Structure 1
C-alpha cells in the first residue's frame, strides 16, 4: 500500500474540520468549590440522596458567594481604573505629549532608539526574573486568596452542611512517625485536630524513634480520644510502620498522611461529602501543593481525573489519597520491600482491585506537602532505591494485568517512568492526516520526520490540500506523488 496520498478540498470543507483543544488546568481555570449537579449513584438510598443533595446545595451557596465577592472586587477595581484613566487623559502632560506618542506608535524602531542598551538589558532581566520567579509566585498567592481561602461564612456553611449529613463516615488517618522534627510533628497533628469535619481518628505508629521529643509530643496528644498511638518495639521502616498504624484504624475509609505535612481545615469535609455523593467510591484523591517552613505555598498540582496511563508515569494519586479500608485489607496493606514507593505500590494494587468508576478525583487542593530546606526526606536520600521500587511496582501491575510491556526510565525525567508496550506481530496500519495550505517548508519538514525518522513501518500519510496556490507547494506535491 502506498504510504502517501493527496486530497484537495475547498476552503469551506476544510473549515469544517476543527481540533478541539484539551482543557488545560491553570490557576484561573481551577476551582475551589465544585459545581452542583453531580448525579448520585443509582444504588444509593433515598435518604442518602437527600443528604447528598443538601451537601451539594451548600456547595452551590459557597460557590455563589465566592463569585459575588469576586464580582464586587472586579467592579471596584474597574471603577478605580476608570478614574485613573480619566485623570491621565485630561492632564496637561498627556495633551503636550500627543505628537510624540503618535510618532512612537507609528515607528516601533523609534521606541527602541530612545532607550539606552543598558536600560533595555536591565528591563529585560527584570522581566525575565519576574516571569520565572516572582510573577508565578504572586499569581499563585493571588489564586489562593481568591479561590482557596475560607471565610467565617464559609466555615459556618460547612458546619451546617455537616449537620445536615444523614451519615458521617469515620475517616482514619494513617500516620507513620520516625524522628520527626518537633515543630513539624506538632503542626501535622494540629492540622488534623483543626478539621471542620469531626468524624475522624488519627492512627499514629511511632517506628521506634530514637529522639526523645517524639514520645513527649505524642504523649501530649494522647488525651484526645480520637488519636490512637502505638510504639513499635523495633524500627521496621515505613511499610511496617504504616501497617502498624493501619491496624489501629476503625473507620470505613483510610487517608494517608506523612508525619510532617499539613491538611487544610476543610479537607476531611470534602472527602466525606464525596463519599456521600458517590457511596460506591473505593479510592478518592485530591489536588496538592507544597508548603515551606514559613507557611508559603507553591508548586500546585492540579490533577486530571483518573488516568491509568498517566498513573504509570508517576504516582498521580499521591496526596491526599483516601481508600476504602476493606479494599486495603483485601489487598494486604503495604508491602515491605517497596519502601519509598510504598504508596505508589498500594495505589496500583488498589486500582487493580476495583473499577475505574470507583476512583474519584476531588478538584481541590486538600493537602500541603512539606518542602524542607534543611531536613532531607527518605525519598530524597534514597532516590535511586525509591525509583527502583516504583518500577518494580509498575512491573508487578503490568504482570497482574497480563500486559506485554516493560517499564524503563523516562528519556527526559529519570525519576519518572515510561511503559513500552510490545508491538503486535501483525502491526496495525497507522494513518497520519495532514491538512495544509501553502507553506511548503513546514510540510516538507513534517513529512521528512514521519517518513524518514520514524521507526514504525506500517503507516500512510494523507495530505489534505486546502487550495494551495504557492508554486513551491505545488512542486512539492508533484515530487511526492512521483516518488511514492
Structure 2
C-alpha cells in the first residue's frame, strides 16, 4: 500500500523545487529529516509471523489460563456449528473438523451437512469423527443450541476461538451477531495476510461481507433465515437494519484462518453493487468556497464546476478574504455575473471556520458542500453521488476521494494517530487502488473527512453549530464537526466513487512543525480536552493496526489484547 519509488521521488522533487523557489530552506531540511526517519521506521515494521506467534498462537501456558477462565464463567454458552460440504475435498474438511475438535472450550456440537453427491458412509471413513459431538447428515434437520456458527471447509478455527466468543457473550449479553478478525493460510501452510476488520460498519457490510468467515449468530436470528436458498449475507443485511450497533460485536482477534492456496485475488473480496435512492427532485446544493488571491487555482476550480458538473440545481457562495490579486479579481468578477452565484466579503485574520460559517448563514440549499479553492472537478457525477449519500437520514457528513495532481490518493478518510495528529488514509496509493481488503471499492464509515470537500445537510449543519470559529480557526474544524455528527449517532461516510483533484498546499503554506506552531498546539490541545478518548475511536480501522503517513502496519502492542494473554 505504498507509493512506487519512482512516483515518490517525482512527488518529492516537485515539492523540493517549490520550496526552493519560495526560499523555505528550513522546510526542506525538516522534510528531508522526516523522510530519513520514515525510511528507518520501515526496517522496524513487524513481520506477521512474529506478531502471530505473540498474539495469536496458543501455548501450554495459554491453554492452562483459558481453562481456568472457562471454569470461572458464570454460565457457559453452547454452540451449534454447521459445516456444509458440497465438495469431496476431504483434506480441507479434515483440517476444519480437526480445528473444531482442538477447541479448548468444550460446549459445542458439529453438524456436517453433506450434499446429495457426497456419500456419508465414505465421508465417515475418510474423516475422523470419533467424537459424539460430531454428526453427519444430508438433511438440515438438527437441534440448535443458543448460538449458531456456519463454517465452510476452507476455514480453520484457532484453538481459543470458541472461548473468546463465549467470554464475549457472557460480558455482553445483549449481542446477537459476533464476528472476528481472520488471516489466511497459503499452500506452504504459512499464516499470512491478516484481515484486521473495523467495528460495525453497516455501509461497508452492505457491499462486502466482511463478517466472514467466522460469524456467530444467536439462534433466534438464525431461525429467521428460513430459506436455505437465500444468501446469509443478504439475510443479515436486512436483519441488521433492525438492530442497534450494541447488538453486533466485533472481537478484534485473529480467531479463524482461510486456506487460499496463494490465490491473492481472494484478498480483494466480491463487492455487491448497492444503489441508494436519489431524490425525485434535485435538492438545491450550496457550494461554499473560501478564497484569497491565487486567481489561477480559483479559475481552475470555478471552471471545472461549471464545465464538469452534470447536477444542475446548485449555487456557488464565494467567501472572498480580501483578494487583491488582479487575476483573482477577474475570476471573482466573472463569477459575479453568474445567476447561481453570490460573493461575500470577509475581512480580518485568516479564520477558515468563520469563513465557511458566513457562507452557511446565507446558504439557501438543502445541502451544503464545502469546497476548497484549490480543488478541481474531474468527473461529472461528483455532486449527484455526494447528494445521494448526504440526503440519507442516517448520514451526517459525506466526503469524496481526493487525488494529488499525479492521480495518486491524497485523502480517503481521516484516521487518528497516537499523538492526535490526523492521518489521511491510503495516501499515495494509486487512484484505482481497491484499498485495504477492497474498502475503497465502496462507501463506508470513517472517523472524519476533510473540509477540502465535505457535504452535509443544512439542518445538520445548524443543529451541530457549524464549524468552531473560536477554538479551531484553521485546523481540525472539519474533524471536530465530523465528531459532533458521530456523537449524535449520525454516520460520516467516505464515498470513494467521487473523485476530485486537490492541489494540496496551494491554498496555504506547508504546516509548520507542531513544536514551532503555537496555534496548532493550541488546536490539538482543544481537541484532546473536548473529545478525550473519542478522538481516537476510528470506525474504519482496528486496534491491531497502526495508521501512519507510511500506510497501515501491525500494531506491536494492540490496544485490545486477548483476555487469556492479559496475565
- Residue 323 (structure 1) shift: 0.7
More helix by share: 1
Aligned partners of 1:355 and 1:441: how far apart in 2?
Answer: 49
1:229 matched residue in structure 2: 136
User: Is the aligned partner of 1:452 residue 2:346?
Assistant: no
Q: Which residue pairs with 2:280 in the alignment?
A: 425
The corresponding residue for 1:335 is 228
Q: Distance in 2 between matches of 1:155 and 1:414?
A: 34
What residue in structure 2 maps to residue 363 of structure 1?
A: 252
| Distance change (3 Å), C-alpha of 1:256 and 1:331 | closer
Deviations along 1:29-73, one digit per CA (max 9) or x if unpaired, are xxxxxxxxxxxxxxxxxxxxxxxxxxxxxxxxxxxxxxxxxxxxx
- The offset of 1:373, in angstroms, is 5.5
Work out whether residues 180 and 260 of structure 1, in 8 Å CA contact, stay in contact via their aligned partners in 2: no
Please say if 1:481 is aligned against 2:336: yes
Distance change >3 Å, CA 470–CA 264, structure 1 → 2? farther
SS of the aligned residue for 1:281 comes to: coil
Whole-Å separation in 2 of the counterparts to 1:448 and 1:255 = 55
1:198 aligns with 2:106: yes
Q: Distance in 2 between matches of 1:448 and 1:192?
A: 62
Shift of residue 190, structure 1, vs aligned partner: 0.9
* 8 Å contact from structure 1 (residues 180, 259) kept in 2: no
The structure with more radius of gyration: 1
Gap runs ≥5 in structure 1: 1-25, 27-107, 109-130, 233-240, 381-412
Deviation of the 1:440 alpha carbon: 4.3
- The 5-angstrom pairing of residues 36-115 of structure 1 reads none
**Structure 1 447/140 Cα, relative in aligned 2: closer, same or farther at 3 Å?**
farther
- When residues 434 and 259 of structure 1 are mapped into structure 2, their CA distance, relative to the original with a 3 A threshold, is same
Matches within 5 A, 1:208-287: 208-210=116-118, 214-218=123-127, 220-221=128-129, 223-230=130-137, 232=138, 244=140, 247-287=141-181
Instruction: Name the structure with the higher strand share.
Output: 2
- Could you tell me how far apart the structure 1 residues matched to 2:216 and 2:255 are? 11
Structure 1 segment 314-353 matched on structure 2, within 5 A: 314-332=208-226, 334-336=227-229, 338=230, 342-352=231-241
1:164 is matched with 72
SS of the counterpart of 1:417? coil
| RMSD of aligned residue pairs (Cα, Å) | 3.7
Structure 1 residue 468: deviation in Å?
5.9
Q: Distance between the aligned counterparts of 1:440 and 1:312, measured in 2?
A: 43
CA-CA distance at 1:176 after TM superposition: 0.8
Higher RCO, 1 or 2 (CA under 8 Å, sep at least 6)?
Answer: 1
Q: Deviations over 1:162-210 (max 9, x none)?
A: 2211011001111011334232221111111111222111111122344
The one-character-per-residue Cα deviations of 1:452-481 (angstroms, maximum 9, x if unpaired) are 322222233344456667654444333323
3-state DSSP of counterpart to 2:258? strand
- Map Cα deviations across residues 205-246 of structure 1 (whole Å, 9 max, x no partner): 12234478533134x31x31221221x2xxxxxxxx6xx1xx
Match of 1:427, SS state, is coil
The TM-score with structure 2 as length reference comes to: 0.47
Q: Which runs of 5+ in 2 are unaligned?
A: 2-15, 17-38, 342-567
For residues 419 and 346 of structure 1, do their structure 2 counterparts lie closer, same or farther at Cα, with a shift above 3 Å needed? closer
Q: Deviations over 1:329-366 (max 9, x none)?
A: 1341x432x4xxx2322322432454443122222222
- Cα shift readout 1:278-321 (whole Å, capped 9, x = no counterpart): 21211111222322232223333322222222222122322211
**Is the contact made by 1:289 and 1:300 (CA closer than 8 Å) also made in structure 2?**
yes
Question: How does the TM-score come out when normalised to structure 1?
Answer: 0.54
For 2:164 and 2:136, locate their aligned partners in 1 and report how far apart those are by CA, in whole Å.
25
Length, aligned pairs only? 300
